Amino acid sequence: MSTEVRQFTVQHDDDGVRLDRWFKRHLPQVGFATVSRWARTGQIRVDGKRADPADRLSAGQVVRVPPGGDTPAKGGAKPRRELSEEEIARAEAMVITQDRAAIVLNKPPGLATQGGSGMKEHVDGLLDAFAHDGPRPRLVHRLDKDTSGVLLIARTPGSAAFFSKRFSGRTARKIYWAIITGVPSVEDGLIDLPLAKQPGTGGEKMMVDKSGEGQPARTRYRVLDRAGNRACWVELQPLTGRTHQLRVHMAAIGHPIVGDGKYGGPEAFLSGSISRKMHLHARRLIIDHPDGDVIDVRAELPEHFANTMANLGFDEEDGDALPEPYKPGKADEKQAAKAHAKQVRKERRGERRGRAEGRVATRKPPTKRGPTKGKGSPKPAAKKPGPGPAPKTGPKPTGKR
């Protein structure tokens, strides 16, 4: 238990957050009831002044936290898993860049992002390698198991909330490289096909939904180079974030991603020395940083993808010229607004839930009220009709004009 007064400087990724929410992010062991009591007794100070749990913080402010309040929850805190030296080395080998807010990894193909049924090895299970003495880093987006490339990890709860808003608001720009079979007739196009879970697959497979009830899904593609009519190298930008979106969309237009037998079937494989692994790589990510800068990072190709590029005569340097930014239409703006509103509602539900947990139930004394209408209550007495309006005076009409 902490026995000394603590001072914390509010970072940029916590700018505008409520004080009680700040405690939940950075000192989750301090319950809402304790925060409320400290605030009532003036023990919590922001820039030397008394503060209320509902007050919003600004970057650069200093929060004074009194000693104590570190009693662990019932059952104890969940212990962190001890990683082997080999696992720590594997995690560190994936790092492209890192700072106080983010860790950017180059995820290899074949490694799942998150655990599932029978899934023992995954990125999420290796994040304790970056925890050290601070909070455990957390995922803010996903890549399929067989997709390689840029994967952003938030180092703190505040940066996780910041990055999550950028992904849900579609302001993060994700650029993928893929090798596909054949060559599209339109070399720079937009695929706009709604997606839904395919019945009978337990949600493990998606499909194009022609009923009109699927989730909107849009992908921009651009041909970078071609190997005759056999295959081509494309750049893909998902403008929405549906499960398996890029894979389903490319298969739907008749050009599945090489190695994607799940959606392309036998036609997704090329003969000769071309690897049967999936050729989909998250090449680049451009996203705002909590400090006001921009993260713009690229991930090197995995070995099988680089070998295929060489076999087909493609040069990586031809692919990193950034295309013109996609200009969202009204449908995109509406979708982004809905996503942002959903995120705001989710945060507010969390805040209300936290307040409810710390609130002491009180009963107000009954107040005197007059008789209410309902069964058994006397009806109000009918009003007696009063005298009507006074008759108009003046000459009687004669009928002649």
**pLDDT-above-70 percentage for the chain:** 76
What local confidence, expressed as pLDDT, does residue 326 receive?
54
What local confidence, expressed as pLDDT, does residue 75 receive?
43
What local confidence, expressed as pLDDT, does residue 130 receive?
92
pLDDT band with cut points at 50, 70 and 90 for residue 399: very low
What local confidence, expressed as pLDDT, does residue 352 receive?
60
Q: With 70 as the cut, is the pLDDT of residue 72 above it?
A: no
What local confidence, expressed as pLDDT, does residue 20 receive?
87
Give the mean model confidence (pLDDT) for residues 115-119. 71
| Residue predicted with more confidence, 392 or 153 | 153
Q: With 70 as the cut, is the pLDDT of residue 375 above it?
A: no
Phi first, then psi: give them for residue 248, nearest 5 degrees. Answer: -70, -45
Name the region of 118 (left: φ>0; alpha: ψ -120 to 50; beta: rest).
Answer: left
Q: With 80 as the cut, is the pLDDT of residue 1 above it?
A: no
Domain annotation for the chain: domains and CATH numbers: 6-65 (3.10.290.10), 85-324 (3.30.2350.10)
Catalytic (active-site) positions: 144
Give the mean model confidence (pLDDT) for residues 267-288. 96
pLDDT band with cut points at 50, 70 and 90 for residue 11: confident
53-71 tens-digit pLDDT: 889 999 889 999 998 776 5
pLDDT band with cut points at 50, 70 and 90 for residue 323: low
| Residue predicted with more confidence, 387 or 244 | 244
| Residue predicted with more confidence, 21 or 344 | 21
Rounded Cα gap, residues 167 and 140, in angstroms: 8
| Residue predicted with more confidence, 397 or 187 | 187
Rounded to the nearest 10 degrees, the angle between the axes of helix 330-358 and helix 19-26 is 80
pLDDT band with cut points at 50, 70 and 90 for residue 27: confident
Is 111 in contact with 163 (CB distance < 8 Å)?
no
| Residue predicted with more confidence, 39 or 147 | 147
Joined together, the tokens standing for residue 96 give 């492209």
What local confidence, expressed as pLDDT, does residue 103 receive?
96
142-185 tens-digit pLDDT: 999 999 999 999 998 889 989 999 998 889 999 999 999 999 99
Q: With 80 as the cut, is the pLDDT of residue 349 above it?
A: no
What local confidence, expressed as pLDDT, does residue 332 receive?
54
What local confidence, expressed as pLDDT, does residue 397 receive?
44
Give the mean model confidence (pLDDT) for residues 369-376. 49
The whole-chain average pLDDT of the chain stands at 83
Q: With 50 as the cut, is the pLDDT of residue 360 above it?
A: no
